[in-house]
A and B are shown apart, each in its own frame.
Chain A
């Protein structure tokens, strides 16, 4: 167990590799109750969300979710988040555990100009379980009346799971099909055990933070605090697709529009090593003798069995196929820029 954002979290239950492979091939169950929930409601709730979240929340129908960023005025990440539209004037934001207080203060301060909207830290009201993997639907369906097969990716519905009031969304942080299940904390253990029980015959396993990190990296998903933070802009992180460029105004808009016009000088890329060795977070990246960037995530991924990573590099070296060098404890090992994601599910 390790301390994580104010929680005690298991790095692994049976082993990172076994848990990672279970999610790719069958299913894994994660307790991600550490994630924070902030609700925004009121007549001007949409305006408030539009101001503090860079993606375009007006595109969300009730029952739909989107990935977005909570930005500084410089266009850098206070946090990344999922925005759920619960009702026309009611939104749920799911944020990272260690940033709940800061996110909440940032939101409360910045929604005031929007008028009639209130933000509430509702983290204590939700436990969150993530059932991920190709077998997830088959495991979950017998426990709920919600029609999961007709639920599209990044949509959600309310109902019951194992006789517990729940909101089920077809989302995740693994690159697999799967569901995230919001339940009242006092009933979370019942739902956890019911899911493990229902999945036993297909080999579902509980998964810890270690596999969560290797799975998301294989899927090319950024981790706030490693790959994105208050020093990196949305465009540098190559996440321009989460910016609602047509919105009139939002925090960070001016900076991002200026940066889009001028072009970025560095960009987050995926790479895989050519020589032996695993590039870890913090290692320097070179082109010839010139330092051009830094690794922000890196490991040997259990499914692809390759040493891969994410790094910020100067744009001149950011094109796929470019050969770069990573300083692995004093040795310059060759690596190649490759398209993201490293892993894409076949369905």
Chain B
């Protein structure tokens, strides 16, 4: 599955799709393959402050539980409640399955994120 060229990526296997001062956040195809069948997600409340590199929730597959790490600092502006009802979408369509929208508090952090090619090289 190709990694969308317009997204930015973290070494922890999250992606962020930026638009203005906001970004949709999800996990990569590589991450969902490692996890296996996703069955549960714990996502933050709207309004919660998140810090770059820190956990903003958890994602659970049948076999394991993993932290979700914020790719940027900011405030949770939206939570994808529909995804919580159908967590298996993370497996079937990982790059469209956003979990939260973060309103960035420190846009300069974006410079530390990876582009699609650099991220893909990391997973090889």
Contact = CB atoms under 8 A, between A and B. Distances in A.
A299 B63 contact: yes
A16 B40 contact: no
Interface in B30-89: 36-37, 39-40, 42, 58, 60-63, 65
Given A276-B42, A302-B37, A16 B62 contact: yes
A300 interface: yes
Contacts of B58: 329
Contacts of A20: 62
Contacts of A278: 39-40, 60, 65
Interface string A1-39: 000000000011001111010000000000000000000
- Give chain B's interface residue range (CB within 8 Å of chain A): 10 to 19
Contact of B63 (A210, A276, A307, A329): A210
* Interface core residue of A12, A20, A278, A329 (most chain B CB under 10 Å): A278
* Interface core residue of B36, B58, B63, B65 (most chain A CB under 10 Å): B63
A244 to B, nearest CB: 37
B63 to A, nearest CB: 5
B89 to A, nearest CB: 14
Contacts of B42: 276-277
B40 A299 contact: no
A300 B40 contact: yes
Given A277-B42, A280-B65, A16 B60 contact: no
Contacts of A16: 36-37, 61-63
A276 B40 contact: yes
A96 interface: no
10 contacts: A11-B36, A15-B91, A16-B62, A17-B62, A210-B62, A277-B40, A300-B60, A302-B62, A307-B40, A329-B58
